[in-house]
Structure 1
Amino acid sequence: MKRFIFAALLLSVCAGFAFAADPVEGYWVSIDEEGKLTAGWRIYEQSGVLYGKILAVAGKPRDTIASDVKESYKDFPVQGAVNKMTVVGTPWIWGLTKKNEGQWAGGNIIDPADGKMYKCKITFRAADGKKYKEDTLEMRGEIGMGIGRSQFWKKSTPEEIDKIQ
C-alpha cells in the first residue's frame, strides 16, 4: 500500500511539471525603445500554438478600432475585417510554435499602430541580477534574414494592466 501511495504521489508531481505553463505565458507590459510602457498583453498557449492579445493600450480608450491595419492578413487567427476589430482583445501575435522551454518562433506579430506585420520570435529571459534585473520577455520582430529589432517586455499582473490608461 505504501508503494502505491508513493507511486501515485510521484506520478502527480511529475504530471504537474509536465503541464506547467511555459514561462513566456502570462501577463506582460510592452516597453518601447525609449523605455516607455505602451500596452498590457496576455501571452497564452492554445493547442500548441502561442498567441498574444492586447488588454490595454497606454493613452487609448479600450474600444479603439484598429483602423490603421489592413483589412486582412495571411493566416490571421480571427475571421472578419481586421481593420474593424478593436485593438484590445484581438490576437496581434499568433502562430508561434515552441522551440525550447521559453523559446517560441515561426509566427507573426502585427503592430496595430501602423498595420505592419513581422515574423515573430519570443524568448523568456529569467532574472539573473545582472543584465536582466527582472523576468523579461524578448519580443523580436523581423522583416526577414534576421533583420529586425527586439523589445524587452516586463512581467506584469492583470491588476497592473487594468490600471493602464
Structure 2
Amino acid sequence: MNNALLILMLSFFSFVSHTQTVEGIWQTFSESGELQSDVKLYVKNGKLYGKMLKFYNSKANQNDKKCLKCKGERKNQPLVGLTFMNGLSKSGDEWEGDEVLLDPENGKEYDGKIWLINENKLAMRGYLGWLYETQYWKRKQ
C-alpha cells in the first residue's frame, strides 16, 4: 500500500513539474483585452527565446508585416517567424536578461523578465531603466 501511494505521489509531482514550464505557445493581448498574437517560447542551449507565430485582427497580410525599424539582420524581416526574445537566462522561477526583448514597433531592445503566474498564465515584463510594463499572456490550449 505504501509503495503504491509513493508511486502515485511521485507520478503526480513529476506531472506537475513537467507542465509548469514557460515553453509553449502563448497568446498576447492588448491593454483592452483584445487578442493580438500567438508567440512560441522555447529553450535552446539553456536560454529562453520567443518568436512570433501569428497576428490577429490585422488589416495587413501576415507576411507583409516587417520589422522596419529593427537593426542588423532583423531589419525588414517579416514579423511572423521573427525571434523577438533572445537568450533570457533562468534565475530561480524567472527568466531574465538585458536587452533581450525586441519591440518591433520602434526597433529597440529592452531588459526583460518572464515568470509563470500559474500553468496557463505568464507575466512578461519589459524594463526601460526604472520604468517597466508588464503584459500577461495566456497559454494557447
TM-score category (smaller protein):
0.7 to 0.9
Structure 2 stretches lacking a partner, 5+ long: 1-6
Judge conservation of contact 1:51–1:96 (CA < 8 Å) in 2: yes
Matched with 2:113 is: 121
**Alpha carbon RMSD of aligned pairs, Å?**
2.3
Could you tell me which of 121, 126, 138 is aligned with 1:141?
126
> How many pairs are equivalent?
126
Return the offset for 1:65. 4.0
Matched with 2:36 is: 38
Matched with 1:50 is: 48
Matched with 2:75 is: 83
- Give the strand-richer structure, 1 or 2: 2
Quote the Cα distance in structure 1 between the aligned partners of 2:35 and 2:105. Answer: 14
1:23 paired to 2:8: no
| Structure 2 length-normalised TM | 0.78
Return the offset for 1:35. 1.1
Matched with 1:105 is: 96
Quote the Cα distance in structure 1 between the aligned partners of 2:110 and 2:117. Answer: 21
SS for the counterpart of 2:75 is: helix
Give the percent of matched residue pairs that are identical in Structure 1 and Structure 2. 29
Return the offset for 1:83. 1.7
Structure 1 stretches lacking a partner, 5+ long: 1-8, 73-79, 128-134, 158-165
Matched with 1:162 is: none
| Structure 1 length-normalised TM | 0.67
Partner deviation per Cα, 1:84-118 (whole Å, 9 max, x = no partner): 211011110112001123x1001411121232321
Matched with 1:93 is: 85
Structure 2 counterpart of 1:123, one-letter code: W
Judge conservation of contact 1:45–1:51 (CA < 8 Å) in 2: yes
SS for the counterpart of 2:64 is: coil
Higher relative contact order (CA 8 A, sep 6+): 1
Partner deviation per Cα, 1:125-147 (whole Å, 9 max, x = no partner): 116xxxxxxx21101011123x1
Partner deviation per Cα, 1:23-71 (whole Å, 9 max, x = no partner): 1110101112221111100000000000000000121422124243232
